[in-house]
């Protein structure tokens, strides 16, 4: 019996090595893609936190009587409630962008917030009645409707920075400067 001898050329080894290289490249590409997506998600979270910090600083300013003496301020914000400041918000001086005097006709006699604004001694009845049965008046009230712009820039230790402007419309006593 005669055995045939074949020469092995190593083609299987070459194909296997090529497949390993391709597989390695696919794994490296997947890891890089995952890392990039993780960075994007982290940056988006930092941007959202900075926006929340800026909004919180604006809310803190407008919850006070800021129209009396508008001034800039620096507010530290703790987003995650761990007792340490995460963001610093630099609130610019609120700017009055408009002031409109209100007449008694713009007010509602049944609304307790409007009662201090009625100017009772100069009220003139126009003869026109509102649906509620109260007379429409044309005299000047003791209040103004003002619009303010409150802006802030919040920055954190992560490098995230956000600038936000909030428009505020509020009723103020007559004589409040704008």
Task: Give pLDDT tens digits for 31-49.
Answer: 999 999 999 999 999 999 9
Computed on alpha carbons and rounded to an integer, the radius of gyration of the chain in Å comes to: 34
Q: In the predicted model, is pLDDT for residue 93 greater than 90?
A: yes
Q: Does a structural domain hold residue 1? A: no
Q: Does a structural domain hold residue 51? A: yes
Percent of the chain with pLDDT over 90: 47
What band does 126 get if pLDDT is binned at 50, 70 and 90? very low
Q: Does a structural domain hold residue 3? A: no
What band does 7 get if pLDDT is binned at 50, 70 and 90? low
Are residues 91 and 61 in contact, defined by beta-carbon separation less than 8 angstroms?
yes
Q: Does a structural domain hold residue 5? A: no
Q: Does a structural domain hold residue 128? A: yes
Q: In the predicted model, is pLDDT for residue 119 greater than 80?
A: no
pTM of the model as a whole: 0.69
Q: Does a structural domain hold residue 140? A: yes
Burial (CB count <10 Å: 0-12, 13-18, 19+), residue 85: middle
Q: Quote helix, strand, coil % in the chain, to nearest 5.
A: 35, 30, 35
Q: Does a structural domain hold residue 6? A: no
> Cβ contacts of residue 86 below 8 Å, gap of 6+?
49, 53, 77, 78, 79, 80, 156, 157
Domain housing 69: 11-173
Total number of domains constituting the chain: 1
Return d(Cα 177, Cα 174) in angstroms, integer: 9
């Amino acid at each position: 019996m005669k055995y045939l001898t074949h020469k092995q050329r190593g083609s299987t080894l070459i194909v296997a090595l090529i497949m390993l290289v391709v597989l390695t490249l696919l794994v490296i590409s997947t890891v890089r893609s995952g890392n990039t997506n993780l960075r994007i998600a982290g940056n988006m979270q930092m941007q959202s936190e900075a926006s929340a910090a800026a909004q919180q600083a604006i809310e803190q300013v407008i919850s006070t009587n800021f129209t009396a003496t508008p001034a800039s301020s620096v507010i530290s914000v703790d987003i995650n409630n761990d007792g340490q400041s995460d963001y610093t918000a630099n609130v610019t001086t609120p700017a009055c962008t408009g002031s409109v005097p209100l007449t008694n006709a713009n007010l509602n006699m049944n609304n307790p917030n409007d009662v201090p604004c009625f100017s009772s001694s100069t009220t003139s009845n126009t003869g026109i009645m509102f649906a509620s049965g109260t007379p429409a008046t044309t005299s000047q009230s003791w209040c103004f409707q003002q619009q303010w712009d409150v802006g802030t820039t919040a920055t954190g230790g992560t490098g995230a920075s956000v600038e936000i402007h909030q428009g505020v419309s509020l009723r103020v006593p007559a004589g409040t400067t704008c």
